[in-house]
Amino acid sequence: MSRFARFVLFAFCPFFLSPFRLAAQQNPSKAAVTVIRAGKVVDVDAGRVLSNQIIVVRGDKIEAIGEALAIPQGAKVIDLSKMTVLPGLIDCHTHLADGARDGDPISQLKKTAAQVALESVPNARLTLESGFTTVRDVGVYRALGDVALRDAINRGYIDGPRMFVAGAYITITGGAGAMTGFAPDIQLPWDLHFGEANSPWEVRQKVRLLVQNGADHIKVLSTGAVLTHGSNPSSIEFTPEELQAAVDEAHHFGLRVAAHAHAADGIKNAIRAGVASVEHATLIDDEGMALAKERGTYLDMDIYDEECIEEDGRNGNTPADFLEHDRDLGEAQRQRFAKAVRAGLKMSFGTDAGVCPYGVAARQFAFMVKYGMTSMQAIQTATHNAADLLGKSDLLGSIQPGKYADIIAVTGDPIADVRALEHVSFVMKEGKIYKQ
Ligand SMILES: [Zn+2]
């Protein structure tokens, strides 16, 4: 690329505020140095725990980690010698930009876009303070609200995790990602049906629009959904041709695709189309598991959610049709999760945050262990594996020199009891401390 072309790209590209832009502006030689004395460090790349480590943070990056490192002069020293230190956690399936959490998406019609945006501020803060320094946000009802939230965090207007965003749901008319449940003669504003597409070419057009407007990845809905009126989780929505169009067009722009899918055939259609991850993967069958293994597709299974759907149901906060969709699916998904773990499939950590309250995503770790993972495997899904799914292993996912200083700490030993991660007491993102 010529220097002029590079200038034009950086000056006018809609990715101007993409997650890593601000960090690149810092001058490393003048950056502040912080040293963390860590009692224990979970080395998620090697799957082991190290003792008595010194972590040197310069500016927004990790400069060094080791047992007997010299502490640079003038460095600020943080004593975490009685704690276990881990890389910042990554939730690969969140919805931070839908405003205050309530049981029915139709509530979006009772709020202005500004209201939804401001209601989303605490969603971002609670997520970061609970130890999740990065999220892969996979869809928003009001298109591009997630882009705005990501950029507000990057500009320092509000506190939140580093966000990678989808911009909107790409979904069939009346599909799993559509706003449904209102009278047919009501015309929705553009941002509440931005991502509807009903042919391969319409899918390509939506991908192009989302790329143009700052999306970091593409989210498609391959089957019906639990939490959508008039939807059926066991129905197929996008055809194989439409899914292939989404993946092909996204790849033209270097973007990956996440596919929502509950039904077995919809899961296989998505894997065959070449998506990076299947979200939920609730009813994945043996053939689907073999395909995922062959293609290296991640399964991003939100196995804790059932607890919140049932609790909200008991409190009258979940619409009756959603509970009907959900019947038997929770346990079916957990059994398939256990099978996928035994089969050695690629697994990432995604909670569908927004179904459960924001800030409790770490509760899923204990369920991942209950259904067959070791604590280390469960932690790896939210660090090492999540960074790989994002295509950002060079910058995220472990405490290694050259990566972003996204560092958390807990009291206790999360390898002995993974529930220690439900109470994160130290949070650093890009070298800045947000909780101590
Ligand atoms: Zn979701």
Contact 75, 34 (CB under 8 A): yes
CATH code for the domain in which residue 411 is found = 2.30.40.10
User: Could you say which residues of the chain have pLDDT below 50?
Assistant: 1-16, 21-25
Predicted confidence at residue 335, as pLDDT, reads: 97
Asked whether residue 71 falls in the same domain as residue 137, the answer is: no
Q: What's the CA-to-centroid distance between 139 and ligand 1, angstroms?
A: 7
Tokens describing residue 18:
């993409």
Domain shared by 424 and 375, yes or no: no
Of the candidates 266, 260, 262, 259, the residue with the CA atom closest to the CA atom of residue 236: 266
d(CA 104, CA 233): 17
**Same-domain pairing of 117 and 201:** yes
Same domain, 69 and 207: no
In the reported structure, the alpha carbon of residue 218 is separated from the centroid of ligand 1 by a whole-number distance in angstroms of: 13
Residues 34 and 128 reside in one and the same domain:
no
Q: Give me the count of residues in the chain.
A: 436
* CA of residue 55 to ligand 1 center, whole Å: 35
pLDDT of 27 reads: 58
389 CA distance to ligand 1 middle (Å): 16
Distance (Å, rounded) from C-alpha 274 to C-alpha 63? 36
What spacing in Å lies between the alpha carbon of 222 and ligand 1's midpoint? 12
In a domain, 357, yes or no: yes
Same domain? 405 vs 273: no
- Contact in structure between 62 and 402 (CB atoms under 8 Å): yes
The pLDDT, as a whole number, for residue 5 is 47
The domain in which residue 404 lies consists of 16-88+398-435
d(CA 85, CA 421) in angstroms, rounded, equals: 11
Residue ending a domain, choose from 373, 390, 407:
390
Name the domain count of the chain.
2
Taking the CA atoms of the chain, what radius of gyration do you get in angstroms?
21
Are residues 426 and 304 part of one domain? Answer: no
Q: What is the pLDDT of residue 23?
A: 47
Same-domain check for residues 77 and 94: no
- Burial of 124-161, coded b for 16+ CB within 10 Å and e otherwise, reads bbbbbbbbbbbbbbbbbbbbbbbbbbbbbbbeeeebbb
